[in-house]
Chains A and B, each alone.
Chain A
């Protein structure tokens, strides 16, 4: 399902003294199967953009096209539910949305709201639980008796069980331990590959953006300031630093290596493996 944001603007609390322009003239195209990372300083409007992707916020200017639905500013928009069924969103700290007596009931809540039968929903719950790496025994427990990390996984399972065609992730691993982080990010990535899901990830981790994304969009003060592949984006280190953003450790290492040795490697490498083989290549070819 292709998604396209066309010159959208959003004002919070429009027409009150508290009015606040959060994003302006944002255009982003997300073809089916893209893994897009959205990065930017805090307050740059990333979460605001995300909420347009499943019509939780309706633009105050511009058009959002989601599959064959069109959401236009200043119009009565219908069929928002169909959009929400196709686009699953994992909010920051999604464990706050848990409310049912048991984990199972909470996971099947979403699918059943969209008309999936109870039996089928339970089947999906089992599958989703396995995907997020939890044991089946947990199904009968109360979500409030779980640890923070387990609650997070249950909440994510609740979104996965809706079987969306597009996954929208707002810092889904904030506050988790490094291993849990990697597990969850890898899980999203393999789902993305297996089901050809479009995935849009907001993250403050440049490592994650470099590792998983095909496309990176940088936002600053409500505008899109740059878009490109990870290699394109991370090639200009000083520009990123000027925007108050970080670069992946590998890139930083490569830059200081180049400076120290007074050399220039052919490209920007985003993984340790690539960089080390490039360096090895260089050393092998270098005159002794």
Chain B
């Protein structure tokens, strides 16, 4: 049912991007989200586009798969585009049909905003597609470590995150199984009147809650039984390694930033 969803999924492969340190990937994504706002004309957007597709190419994720997985999100992008095109009333009038008026600025804004949106989605998907959940959490925990000084519960946050990420596939499997069991008992999840379909969620959600609570309890007991006492003095099995490629990637991003600043209008 949710087989084509790719948001938040990891695709194992051998690639430059897969081998990068999760810390550098996180930093790059964070900076990317900031510098994308520097772009304000066609040239700068094209530049960002080239960068994004370069990274996608390096990751060796098949385009066909990306396209299938992101199709629902593309509708959202299209929707943003249309919203801008129809509701911005700036610049010269381009086209008029009855009550519909399309302005130059609307088209411009629409294209830019949806491009920005699209590139952001691509880059953030790239992070989760090429980095295991454990790596992401480890990276975040290390990056946020300084915050411990101000009593921010970094370790607990990271643990919460890794547990949730760990259980997403389990929860998906469980959802699929219970959905099938209820479909076999005559529930219609994907057709019929809307009211019926909303009602159909109850036989799915209740068993899911029940099993999630049960699982949480079992996990807590298992952790306690193995002597878990929080992050104090805990060492790591997987060590993060900053490599030359990571520095290079940051350098490339720096060059992109400089170009954007020079070329923006």
Contact = CB atoms under 8 A, between A and B. Distances in A.
Interface of A: 12-13, 15-18, 51, 54, 56, 81, 84-85, 88-89, 91, 94, 96-99, 109-110, 113-114, 144, 158-159, 162
A232 B95 CA distance: 79
Contact of A88 (B4, B177, B184, B202): B184
A114 B182 CA distance: 12
Nearest to A155: B181
23 contacts: A15-B65, A15-B68, A16-B4, A16-B68, A17-B62, A54-B184, A81-B186, A81-B188, A84-B184, A88-B184, A91-B184, A94-B181, A96-B177, A96-B178, A97-B181, A97-B203, A97-B207, A98-B207, A99-B206, A99-B207, A114-B186, A162-B185, A162-B186
Nearest to B174: A96
Contact of B185 (A12, A17, A96, A113): A113
Interface in B64-103: 64-65, 68-69
Interface in B171-204: 174, 177-178, 180-188, 202-203
Nearest to B210: A144
Contacts of A114: 186
Interface in B1-27: 3-4, 6, 11
Contacts of B203: 97, 99, 109
B3 to A, nearest CB: 4
Interface of B: 3-4, 6, 11, 61-62, 64-65, 68-69, 174, 177-178, 180-188, 202-203, 206-207, 210-211
Given A96-B211, A109-B203, A91 B186 contact: no
Contact of A110 (B69, B174, B185, B202): B185
Contact of A91 (B11, B64, B180): B180
Contacts of B181: 89, 91, 94, 96-97
Given A81-B188, A99-B206, A91 B183 contact: no
B64 to A, nearest CB: 8
A97 B65 contact: no
B206 A84 contact: no
A148 B3 CA distance: 31
B207 A56 contact: no
A39 B68 CA distance: 36
B217 to A, nearest CB: 14
Q: Which 9 residue pairs are nearest across A and B when measured between Cβ atoms? A: A113-B186, A99-B206, A110-B185, A97-B181, A13-B3, A89-B184, A99-B203, A114-B186, A56-B180
B78 to A, nearest CB: 22
A18 B61 CA distance: 12
Contacts of B187: 113
Given A16-B3, A91-B177, A97 B182 contact: yes
A81 B64 CA distance: 33
A12 B188 contact: no
Contacts of B188: 81
Nearest to B204: A99
Nearest to B211: A96
A67 B182 CA distance: 22
B186 A56 contact: no
B128 to A, nearest CB: 14
A151 B134 CA distance: 36
> Of B64, B184, B186, B187, which is in contact with the most chain A CB atoms at under 10 Å from its CB?
B184
B202 to A, nearest CB: 7
A56 B183 contact: yes
